[in-house]
Each structure stands twice: as C-alpha cells, then as structure tokens.
Structure 1
Amino acid sequence: MKKTLLLAGASVFLLTSCVSKKKYDDLQAQFDGVYQSKQSLSNELTKCNSDVASLQAQLEGVKNLSQSDKESVKVLENALDKCLNAQSSGSMNITKLIEQIDSSNKYIKQLINSKNKSDSLNLVLTNNLTKSLSREELKDIDVQVQKGVVFISLSDNMLYRSGSYEISPAANDVLSKIAKIIKDYPSYDVMVEGNTDNVPISRENIRNNWDLSALRASSVVQALQTKHGVDPKRMTAGGRGEYNSVATNATPAGRNKNRRTEIIILPNLDQFMELIGQAPTE
C-alpha cells in the first residue's frame, strides 16, 4: 500500500509532512488554551478560598447570637458548604488539566525530538554525499534538503544519451556513490522521478514524455538494484513528464534544467504516523 502511495510522487509526502506540521501547531494551540483554562481555574480557586475564610469568620461571629438568628446561621452554613464543594471541584479540575498539559507536553517533545533527529540525519547524509562527489560531478548534480526530504537532482546530460533512457557508463560512477549513501541509511525509502522538458519525443515505442520520464526513472532504479546492491523493496520509480518543470521551457537553458531525474530520499513515514496516532485525545 505504501509503495502505491509513493507512486503519486514526492508531492504526496510533502502534503503528509504539512499535515504533520499542522498537527504540531494544533497541539501547541491546545496547550495554550488548556494552560489559560488552568490559570482561570486557579484564580477562581483563590477567590473561593478567600470566600471560605470570610464565611468562617462570619459564622464564628454569629454563634453566640440569640435563637431568633439561627436561620441566619443556617444560611451561612449552607453558603460555606457550597463554597467548600466548589473548592473541591476546582481542585479536581485543575488536577485533570495539569495531567492533560503534561500529556500534551510529552507528545510535543516527542515530535520535536523526532523532527530534530530526522533533520540531523538529513544534514549528515547530504554532507557525506557532497564530499564523495568530485567537482566535475557536482556540475551535473544538485543536492538539497526541503521540508525534511533529501532531493538529489541529476541532469539528463550526465545520465543518458539524448532521447534515450539507457544509463551511460559514466553515470554509473555517480550512481555508485549515491547507492552507498542510500545503503548507509537502511530505514529511509527512495523514490526516483523522471522529468522532461515540453519538447515532444519522437521515437519508436515511446509514446510521449510521460513514457520517457517513467522509463528513465525505471532505468535508474534498476541500475541501483542490479549494479549497486540497493534493496528494491525500498525503491519506487515514477515519471512526471513535462509537468513538474523548475524553469521555463522557452529557452534552451530552461529546458536543460527541466530534463532531470530526481532521487528523493524519504525518512521513515511509519515512525511519524505512529507518533501522530499517539496524540492525546483530550
């Protein structure tokens, strides 16, 4: 099921990532609201304690009154009982609120720690990959971290011959370095996406740019598996054709940027989904 969802592209993950961020913000807002409620109840409890002291003083003052004032005493006693009951109820509510605050705090800290760990791993991964590549190779490779995901963008000039989806011999050196990084992080999934410009393809057995982009992504996945030992269960191949451009197709330079294959290294989504499922219900 997870692999089917990944076929929809990295945008699905980014949306999930945004949902997780929204959940985090909602929890922070919930924490603020609960804390304000606690403060309000604390103020009410303080006032109630003051009223109790006042009523007790009044009750002591009327104990020596005549029999005709017994009704007044009874009224004061009833008022004192109500205030004491309110005091007890307020204490119980505050205790419950404090428990909810502690639970929310613990959950928020879990999310923050998990995100910080993921960010640190991504930084190390990116640095290790960049250091392993030569200056010449870096001209055709762009490595970025966006919203907790590592994007490795490879130019088609480096990977394939023009209009082809077969991996060039020179590209295997680069793929071997990327494969080593992927294998160093076995809990991460890998999505390979092919992208083209908007110039129609004219070649037998390739119907359009959708086909070309998907075939190129599939070639990279198979090279990572068969030549460099990456577990195929961790990988997904997809094509986005000309519909995920990063530059204008009106110029040769822009079309060159759009013709690319992206290797997207994704943190383990299951861990984040488990944390979301553990969110406090109240």
Structure 2
Amino acid sequence: MKKAMIIGASMAVLLSSCVSQKKYAEMEAKQKETQDLLNTATVKLNSCLEEKASASSELKILQDQVGNLKNTNAALLNNVGNLATLSTKEAENLERSLESIKEKDLQIKTMNDAINKKDSVTLALVTSLKGALGNLNDEDIEINVEKGVVYVSISDKLLFRSGSYNVSEKAKNVLGKVAKVVNDKPDIEFLVEGHTDNVPIKNKVLLDNWDLSVKRATSVVRVLQNEFKVDPKRMTAAGRSYYVPVADNSSAENRAANRRTRIVVLPKLDQFYNMIEDGMKKASQGGN
C-alpha cells in the first residue's frame, strides 16, 4: 500500500511538470509571435518615416531646379533684349526651358498637394480623437503627433488595476470613444503597445514584465474587437516591457508615467506615394 502511494505521488508530480512545461511553451510561442508582429510594425514605421524624408528632399531639389531654370530664362531675355531678335537656336532653348519649368512646377504642386493632404488627414484624426475623448485629465490620456505619426497614450491607472491586465469598466468607456473614431476611418491601421515600469513582477499567471505588457496590449485589442467591433486585421498587439520609458524609474511619479498603453496610428505611406506618382504622370503628360 505504501509503495502504491509513492508511485501515485510520483505520477502526479510528473503530470504537473508536463502541464507546466506545456503552458510555458505556449506562452513562449505567444510572446515570440507578438515580438515578430512588433518588429514588422516597427520596420514598417521606420520605412515610412525614411520615405517621407526622401520625398521632402526630392521636393527641395525640384524647387532648386525651377529656380535655376527661371534664372536662366531671365539671363536669356536680358542678353537678347527683345524676343523678336532671338536667333532660332535661342528661341528653341527658351521654349524648352519654359516647358521644363511648366513640368517642374506641376510636379512640385503635385508633391505639395500630396503632403498637404496627408497632413490634413493627420490633423483630422487628432481633432476627431480629442473631440471624442473630451476633457480627460492629461495625466490619464495624451494625444500627440511625432514625425507625422499619431500617438494616443493611456495611463495604466485608467486601464488596469496594479499588476492586472483586465481592462476596467471605466477604461472601456474611453476605448469605446477611440473605437468610434477608428471605425469611422476604416483605412487606418494601428499598433497597441503595452509598457511597464522596471519593478519586477512574477506570479502564478505572469512570468515577468514582458508578459504583463503583452497581456495588457492583447486585452485592449480584445476589447476593441469584441465589444466595439474594430476589424482585427487593422490591429497589432505588442508588449515593450520597461525598455522604452518616457522617464527614468527613479521615482514613483516617473514609474507611473512609464506604465502606459500606447495606440500608434501607422501611416499608410504607400497611398501617399501612389498619389505623388499619379500626379507626376499627369504632369509629364501635360508637359508633353
């Protein structure tokens, strides 16, 4: 009888270990999948910002070229004095120069229109979010634009209880207002980032700060999807742990600022450059 009890206890320990290893493997796989999504979104965002900088540089080159062409024309007119006395070659040069200026001006206008349209869309989105969220305390929620990207940062004290990843009922009211804005703008995609402070956490459910930050992001995504019908294909959930702080963790106030969830609206720069490309084609056809 005693031997049977020992064997039974040993089997229970082995089964418990298997279950624990299985859960750990699932959580590791889930964390890797989330990190892969985050890396993809980060690469996309960095690429978009680099492309915008390249477009601005190209615009400056075009503007300089137009200035040079105008100076060339002015010099031609000053040297000749009267169009009636222009030689055939000079007249042809002037005509080609004028056509080139016309085409460059159209290209510049196209690029300016595209940039202005993108800026207008960003401004409209920020205005819609601020209008929907109303006069919330700046410590709880913050909306800003950095390099053309819209960020909505929500404090953890509004979204979660300490050490928890369950979204509070008060926070669902806020997320519902955000969902209303994004549902009205079906073309935008966004990333939900979970951030923590550097105080270590580990319990029966959470392995560490990485785990907490990912679970908080996925909790927000699930609320947006299940309760407010936001298309899941438009969302990415990611955890950043405590590695992207907004302040050092030397005080309780700073640690509170670092504990946040960020909604990052990802710019669709492919649409922006398609607009420029179409405009360039029209400008070239018009010049010809």
TM above 0.5, yes or no, is: yes
Give ranges in structure 1 of 5+ residues lacking alignment: 54-82
**Residue 151 of structure 2: SS of its match in structure 1?**
strand
Give the superposition deviation at 1:274: 1.5
TM-score by length of 2: 0.71
**Residue 229 of structure 1: SS of its match in structure 2?**
coil
Equivalent residue number for residue 165 of structure 1: 165
Q: Contact 1:5–1:12 at 8 Å: present in 2 too? A: no
Selected match of 1:20 from 52, 55, 60: 52
Equivalent residue number for residue 146 of structure 1: 146
Equivalent residue number for residue 6 of structure 2: none
Identity of aligned pairs, percent? 38
Deviation by residue 1:35-76 (Cα, 9 ceiling, x = unmatched):
3145336535764689x97xxxxxxxxxxxxxxxxxxxxxxx
Distance 1:92 1:199 in 2: 75
Bigger radius of gyration among the two: 1
* AA at the equivalent of 2:272: F
- Going from structure 1 to structure 2, the CA distance change for 1:41 and 1:128 (only over 3 Å counts) comes to closer
- Count residues with an aligned counterpart: 246
Equivalent residue number for residue 33 of structure 1: 65
Q: Contact 1:45–1:91 at 8 Å: present in 2 too? A: no
- Going from structure 1 to structure 2, the CA distance change for 1:103 and 1:201 (only over 3 Å counts) comes to farther
* AA at the equivalent of 2:59: L
**Residue 200 of structure 2: SS of its match in structure 1?**
coil
- Going from structure 1 to structure 2, the CA distance change for 1:251 and 1:230 (only over 3 Å counts) comes to same
- Going from structure 1 to structure 2, the CA distance change for 1:227 and 1:137 (only over 3 Å counts) comes to farther
Equivalent residue number for residue 182 of structure 1: 182
TM alignment of 1:241-280, pairs within 5 A: 241-275=241-275, 277=277
* AA at the equivalent of 1:19: E
**Residue 191 of structure 1: SS of its match in structure 2?**
strand
Q: Contact 1:194–1:260 at 8 Å: present in 2 too? A: yes
TM alignment of 1:120-159, pairs within 5 A: 120-133=120-133, 135=135, 139-159=139-159
- Going from structure 1 to structure 2, the CA distance change for 1:138 and 1:47 (only over 3 Å counts) comes to closer
Q: Contact 1:218–1:237 at 8 Å: present in 2 too? A: yes
TM alignment of 1:186-205, pairs within 5 A: 186-205=186-205
* AA at the equivalent of 2:257: K
* AA at the equivalent of 1:27: L
Give the superposition deviation at 1:126: 2.6
Give the superposition deviation at 1:6: 6.6
**Residue 166 of structure 2: SS of its match in structure 1?**
coil
Equivalent residue number for residue 114 of structure 2: 114
- Going from structure 1 to structure 2, the CA distance change for 1:101 and 1:18 (only over 3 Å counts) comes to farther
**Residue 161 of structure 2: SS of its match in structure 1?**
coil
**Residue 213 of structure 2: SS of its match in structure 1?**
helix
Equivalent residue number for residue 56 of structure 1: none
Q: Which moved more, 1:22-31 or 1:171-180?
A: 22-31
Equivalent residue number for residue 24 of structure 2: none
Equivalent residue number for residue 62 of structure 1: none
Q: Contact 2:110–2:279 at 8 Å: present in 1 too? A: no
Distance 1:17 1:260 in 2: 24
Q: Contact 1:191–1:263 at 8 Å: present in 2 too? A: yes
Distance 2:277 2:211 in 1: 38
Equivalent residue number for residue 28 of structure 2: none
Distance 1:249 1:159 in 2: 20
Give ranges in structure 2 of 5+ residues lacking alignment: 1-35
- Going from structure 1 to structure 2, the CA distance change for 1:36 and 1:136 (only over 3 Å counts) comes to closer
- Going from structure 1 to structure 2, the CA distance change for 1:98 and 1:238 (only over 3 Å counts) comes to farther
Give the superposition deviation at 1:101: 3.1
Equivalent residue number for residue 3 of structure 2: none
Q: Contact 1:7–1:238 at 8 Å: present in 2 too? A: no
Distance 2:240 2:92 in 1: 58
* AA at the equivalent of 2:72: S
